[in-house]
Every structure is written in C-alpha cells, then in structure tokens.
C-alpha cells in the first residue's frame, strides 16, 4: 500500500507533469494550478469549454515554464511573480484576484485556442479558501476547482476499465496522488490518510464531469467513461471517482511512500 504516482498541473486544464518527488504546501503541490486562463470577464476557462486545452504542454525550464502547442513557437512564462496590479478573476462561485501578463503572452494562448483569453497567476498574498462547508477555518487552495489535492486509487481505475470496451489511463481523471495496493473504491470510506509522514484530511468525494471523456493527449471527446461510471458510481452529489484532500503539512512527497488510511 503505497503512493504510486504524483502529478501536478502548472496551468489549470493543460497537460500534467508526472514526477517521482515533489514539494507540497497547504495550498497544494508547488506550482500546481498556479496559472489559469480567463476570459475578458475574468471567468476561468477549462477543457469543459475548450477541449483543445488538453494539448497545451507545459514543461519546467530554467526560471520559466515552457508552453508549447502544435504549429506555434514555444512561449516562456517567467516563474517570477508578474508585476502590476491585481485583477479580479472567478472560479465557479469564488471571486479572487490574480496577476496578469503582457499582451504578447495572452496573444500566444489566444492563437492556440482560437478565443480571447488572458493568462493569470495566483497571487501569494491573496488567500482563496477551501469551501467553509468542509473546513472549520480558512484553508488555502490554488486555482484547482475546490481542494488542494485529488487522490485516486489504481484499483478503482482497474475496476472501471473492466467495464469499458476500451481501457483509459488515469490521466483522464487529472489526479494529483495515485495510490496502489488497496481494494477498488476503498478510498470511499477514508476519513483521513497518511502518506509518508504527512496527514491528509479527506474532505469529500470528487464528482466528475465531461472532462473525463476527453482524451488528454489529443483533446478529442470520446464519449466515455462518464456514462459507464454513472451506472455504478452515481451518489448524492454526482458521479464519483476519487477523493478531495487537504493538509496543513509542508514537505516533499515521494513515489513509494507508504499510504495508511484512517477510517
């Protein structure tokens, strides 16, 4: 029973990066969903509206993120926080503030996606909190949909794939932490989980949307696995796969760390 995989997504709804070890803070994995694309009203953009975002490749480079998209020269985004005034942005019902970037960077993403959009970065001094329905006090979160960490179970994916005509990879679920060695959907019963020395609180199950139907390599909708998942994983609140976590801990997670659930 161990941590099988670690994945972070610097740009919300773009491709993820699988790593063997990675630092974490209360907000989540370092650089996970620290950048986001918004429209002219500051509303967040995702694969729900623009499936082609799945083809946006983001790789760490020296002092920058190297963004690439087929047919375009790469774009480098400095890791240093942008200068200038904060601008209002919105993620679901959450209103927060973020730093913008020069027009040339915005234009690169606009050309890639074929729509007006603007790149923003989360401001460290502005705290966006987890929904207070799930925590007793303010707890920071990145530009993730709602929680700092998403955990999935390899056996749960295997059980789903047994029902599908064509197997899908775990990347469909855009998870952060993949565990192995547990029965399928054992994670449903966890109240807390310890990974290595770090204790995580299990906030709520993750209700899935049509993004899991999008091939994360091609950006093409496939029609599955959401319908099949709905035949046996529909619960109050949605069609469930994975668990949302938070933790006050700071440190470095490593693949292979022991995983101990607390029921």
* Residues 111 and 11 grouped into a single domain: no
DSSP E strands, the chain: 2-8, 17-19, 21-25, 28-29, 35-38, 57-61, 64-68, 75-78, 86-91, 94-100, 118-122, 149-153, 177-180, 192-195, 198-207, 234-235, 238-246, 251-254, 259-262
How many C-beta atoms lie closer than 10 Å to residue 48's C-beta? 13
Match 């020269």 to its residue by tokens. Answer: 73
Q: Is 50 helix (H, G, I), strand (E, B) or coil?
A: coil
Can you tell me the distance from the alpha carbon of 4 to that of 175, in angstroms, rounded to the nearest whole number?
A: 12
* Res. 237: pLDDT tops 90: no
* Residues 111 and 189 grouped into a single domain: no
Can you tell me the distance from the alpha carbon of 77 to that of 173, in angstroms, rounded to the nearest whole number?
A: 26
**What's the whole-number mean pLDDT along residues 35-49?**
98
pTM recorded for the entire structure: 0.96
Match 């200038």 to its residue by tokens. Answer: 84
Write down the pLDDT at residue 247: 98
* Residues 49 and 89 grouped into a single domain: yes
* Residues 135 and 213 grouped into a single domain: yes
* Residues 137 and 39 grouped into a single domain: no
Distances (CA, A) of 260 to 54, 122, 146, 153, 186: 33, 32, 24, 13, 12
Q: Tell which of 88, 122, 156 closes a domain.
A: 122
* Residues 46 and 140 grouped into a single domain: no
pLDDT digits 0-9 by tens, 140-164: 999 999 999 999 999 999 999 999 9
Q: Tell which of 89, 122, 155 closes a domain.
A: 122
**What's the whole-number mean pLDDT along residues 245-255?**
98
* Residues 150 and 256 grouped into a single domain: yes
What residues are paired with 194 via a beta bridge?
199, 260
Query: Structure tokens of 225?
Result: 């696995």
Can you tell me the distance from the alpha carbon of 9 to that of 30, in angstroms, rounded to the nearest whole number?
A: 10
* Residues 69 and 140 grouped into a single domain: no
Write down the pLDDT at residue 137: 83
* Residues 103 and 229 grouped into a single domain: no
Domain at 190, CATH number: 2.40.33.20
* Res. 28: pLDDT tops 90: yes
Structural domain containing residue 239: 2-28+131-262
Can you tell me the distance from the alpha carbon of 227 to that of 213, in angstroms, rounded to the nearest whole number?
A: 9
* Residues 138 and 15 grouped into a single domain: yes
Q: Is 178 helix (H, G, I), strand (E, B) or coil?
A: strand
What residues are paired with 68 via a beta bridge?
57
**What's the whole-number mean pLDDT along residues 55-60?**
97
pLDDT digits 0-9 by tens, 69-128: 999 999 999 999 998 899 999 999 999 999 999 999 999 999 999 999 999 999 989 999
The total number of structural domains that make up the chain: 2
* Residues 244 and 160 grouped into a single domain: yes
Q: How far is CA 129 from the centre of its chain?
A: 16
Can you tell me the distance from the alpha carbon of 59 to that of 8, in angstroms, rounded to the nearest whole number?
A: 11
pLDDT digits 0-9 by tens, 168-224: 999 999 999 999 999 999 999 999 999 999 999 999 999 999 999 999 999 999 999
Write down the pLDDT at residue 84: 87
* Residues 68 and 161 grouped into a single domain: no
Q: Tell which of 99, 122, 145 closes a domain.
A: 122
């Amino acid at each position: 029973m161990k941590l099988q995989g670690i994945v972070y997504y610097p740009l919300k709804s773009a491709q993820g990066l699988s790593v063997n070890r990675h630092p974490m803070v209360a907000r989540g994995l370092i650089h996970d969903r620290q950048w986001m694309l918004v429209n002219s009203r500051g509303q967040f953009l995702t694969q729900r509206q623009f499936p082609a975002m799945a083809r946006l490749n983001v790789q760490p480079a020296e002092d920058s993120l190297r963004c690439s998209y087929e047919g375009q020269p790469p774009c480098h985004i400095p890791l240093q926080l942008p200068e200038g005034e904060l601008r209002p942005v919105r993620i679901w019902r959450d209103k927060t503030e973020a730093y913008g970037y020069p027009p040339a960077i915005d234009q690169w993403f606009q050309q890639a996606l074929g729509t007006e959009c603007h790149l923003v970065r989360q401001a460290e001094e502005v705290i966006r909190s987890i929904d207070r329905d799930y925590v007793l006090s303010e707890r920071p979160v990145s530009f993730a949909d709602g929680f700092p960490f998403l955990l999935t179970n390899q056996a749960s994916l295997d059980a789903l794939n047994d029902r599908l005509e064509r197997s899908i990879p775990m990347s469909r679920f855009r998870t952060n932490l993949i565990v192995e060695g547990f029965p399928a959907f054992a994670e449903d019963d966890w109240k807390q989980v310890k990974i290595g020395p770090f204790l995580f609180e299990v906030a709520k199950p993750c209700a899935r949307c049509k993004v899991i139907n999008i091939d994360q390599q091609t950006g093409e909708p496939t029609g599955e696995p959401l319908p099949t998942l709905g035949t046996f994983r529909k619960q109050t609140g949605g069609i469930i796969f994975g668990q949302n976590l938070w933790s006050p801990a700071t440190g470095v997670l490593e693949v292979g760390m022991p995983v101990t659930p607390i029921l």
